[in-house]
Amino acid sequence: MLVLDYGKYLRLSPQIEIQPRGGFYEKYCDKMSIIHTHQIVCLEYATRHLYAEVIEVVEWRQICWLRPLMLAVTPSENEDITSVLPQSLRLYDLRQGPDILWPTKFLRLVWDTEVIPLLAQLEDLHCHPKDNSDTRHQLADFIAEVWQTYPQEFESSMKSTL
């Protein structure tokens, strides 16, 4: 199986396997055994989808070190991002931004067919907006909203480090 391995360049790699959303793996397997370095994961919240590369999995803390790639915003909530017309998505390029640590329970693995078209759009000249301050603001707002919605999850992650 060929899957996406996002490093310095976009390439397909046979050594990393991305599992589908839902199904057997989501219900019966430990997420820690599924998520590995160099995989692309997604954090979904409301109308936003944060795509990131897994840099490292910290198993004992159940968190991942992530390098954000993009934030995709759909026009309406509960809309499958793969069914949205590309021109109706709002993409924010986060590839030059900071890395983040995030609990693994919020992440899902991404199919290459979902993320490759989005990565291609980032390179498109018509991708909007290009303003770095707006992009950083969007990421900060997204993270703050998830933290405020699930404070107990982040408190338990912090307690496991003490």
Domain that holds residue 23: 3-159
Mean pLDDT rounded to a whole number for the chain: 76
Domain count of the fold of the chain: 1
- Per mean pLDDT, which range of 31-35, 63-67, 95-99, 102-106 is the poorest? 31-35
pLDDT score for 156 = 66
- Find how far residue 35's CA is from the centre of its chain: 12
User: Within the chain, what is the greatest distance between any pair of CA atoms?
Assistant: 46
pLDDT score for 81 = 74
> How does pLDDT run across 141-151, given as a tens digit for each residue?
999 999 999 88
Whether the pLDDT of residue 9 is over 50: the answer is: no
CA distance 162 to 154: 13
